Amino acid sequence: MRYRSWLSWPALLLFLTFAPSSHPQAPQTGTLKAIHAEGMKTFSEAQVAAISGLQVDSQVGRQDLQNAADLLLRSGLFAKVNYKFDTHNNDVILTFHVEEAPRLPVAYDNFPWFDDSELTAAIKNDLPFYDGTLPEGGTVVDLAGNALASFLTAHGLKAEVKHFVLANPLLDSSEQEFQLSGVTQTVASVEFSDPALTNDLAVQQHLSDVRGKPYSRLMIDVFLAEAIRPIYLAKGYLRAKIGPAEVRLSGDPNKKFPEAIPVYVPCTPGPVFHWKEADWKGNGALSSQALDAVLRMKPGDLADGMAIEGAWDRVREAYGHLGYLDAKVEPVASYDEQAHTVSYSVAIVEGQQYRYQEMTVTGMSLAGERMIRDAWPLKPGDVMDKTAFEQFLLLLEAHRDSIFKDLPVHYDTVGHWLETDPQKGTANALIDFK
């Protein structure tokens, strides 16, 4: 049970009258005189009372109080619900103690005919506490979907409203997303506020990824994150603001909604940044000078965001080369808005160094396995060089003749992983042929 009741001594007699009886008589009830709530962070006491479904001055029995606690839990808005009640004569004072559940921002995926404010107002009309966020699940999410469906019906549109928890690539976080099924509208065009993007050949080549496709904000967000943001980053626009995309419909609003939707994307590139430095913390196996060399960037260089991301990958690879398979690299950027430079504080958690123990090969003939072991570059006790492991896999996948010579072998894929034992500091290589 995720809730429980505390009974004060004065309430014990009322509890006994509320409890099931073996006698065929109607259960006793009391008059609910007040509903209190504790533990909220964003909800008010009145909102918790409203969501519980109970009404002050109504007659309630103990089952009614339990049902109200169940209703609060099923809403999805609360992770925990406890309650207690006190009585005086025939009056009941109820107190909920709640713990609010995490909530996610709401996104409306393919409602191109309406502003977000209209859709938000439609939900708020049915759920007065709605603030643009909802829990991952629960009855309140379904009620919000029903409110949107009713709003669409009132505007002459019939479509099934679905909801999903999805990751937004632009926000690097999850959202509670509402989508319509059976919508036929497509993206007619994509226009950017930044003329440099409009004239960029690479952008024009990528527009086919969205133009003519079914209208979807999520699809457009993915396009902006994967095709547009890298163009800005590579040119040093590290703080570029992209989107959110807007629909700009024109014409008589009383006529049929258009089948093709023009999309407008506001973009502010901001200043071009240059590299200043990296401040390393927690590194021991590799010196700061060695790590700077891995980055391949000098003060004053253009801060190519894509190259910087690749540099952090090279740092991880450098640690893997030395057997630090669990090493974590956590860079945090610091921007100088006046000088237009960027520096990074990079926290390194090296973890332990692993040594190679043994290899397991499956899905290969005995002759083929012998040739694999002959070509394998590591001996038991050697540092588990992740780079050598990956290079060996590349030979198996793309240059198999260099290992198998004239031996006929047939496989489509090479499954692989490293199995580590932190207590022993050992790593086993596993290779599976299919």
List the chain pLDDT tens, one digit each, 434 residues: 343 344 333 333 333 333 333 333 334 789 999 999 999 999 999 999 999 999 999 999 989 999 999 999 999 999 999 999 998 888 999 999 999 999 999 999 999 888 899 999 999 999 999 999 999 999 999 999 999 999 999 988 888 999 999 887 766 778 999 999 877 789 999 999 999 998 888 898 889 899 999 999 989 999 999 999 999 999 999 999 998 899 877 655 555 567 788 999 999 999 999 999 999 999 999 999 999 999 999 999 999 999 999 999 999 999 999 999 999 999 999 999 999 999 999 999 999 999 999 999 999 999 999 999 999 999 999 999 999 999 999 999 999 999 999 999 999 999 999 999 999 999 999 999 99
* Sheet of 30-38, strands arranged across: 5-7, 78-88, 91-100, 30-38, 59-60
For 410-416, the CB contacts below 8 A with 24+ separation are 411/363, 411/364, 416/389
Structure tokens at 429: 């290589």
Report the Cα 56 to chain-centroid distance in Å. 40
Q: How far is CA 12 from CA 3, 20, 142, 200, 239, in A?
A: 18, 14, 38, 76, 63
Say what the pLDDT of residue 184 is.
79
Instruction: Map residue 220 onto helix, strand or coil.
Output: helix
Last residue of a domain, one of 215, 240, 271: 271
Residues 21 and 95 in one domain: yes
Residues 207 and 242 in one domain: yes
Residues 205 and 233 in one domain: yes
Last residue of a domain, one of 100, 126, 160: 100
Residues 249 and 301 in one domain: no
Which CATH number is 325's domain given? 3.10.20.310
Say what the pLDDT of residue 6 is.
42
Residues 383 and 318 in one domain: no
Last residue of a domain, one of 349, 370, 397: 349
Rounded distance, CA 240 to CA 232, Å? 7
Cis, peptide link before residue 408, omega less than 30° from 0: no
Say what the pLDDT of residue 72 is.
96
Residues 263 and 279 in one domain: no
Residues 86 and 12 in one domain: yes
Residues 10 and 94 in one domain: yes
Residues 219 and 267 in one domain: yes
Counting the structural domains of the chain, the total is: 5
Say what the pLDDT of residue 170 is.
67
Residues 113 and 124 in one domain: yes
Structure tokens at 397: 């996948």
Say what the pLDDT of residue 256 is.
57
Say what the pLDDT of residue 248 is.
79
Say what the pLDDT of residue 173 is.
79
Do 336 and 276 form a contact (C-beta atoms < 8 A)?
Answer: yes
Count H helices, E strands: the chain? 14, 20
Q: For residues 329-346, b (16+ Cβ closer than 10 Å) or e, as one string?
A: bebeeebeeeebbbbbeb
Say what the pLDDT of residue 255 is.
55
Residues 71 and 134 in one domain: no
Residues 208 and 223 in one domain: yes
Q: By residue range, what is the domain housing residue 41?
A: 5-100
Say what the pLDDT of residue 29 is.
84
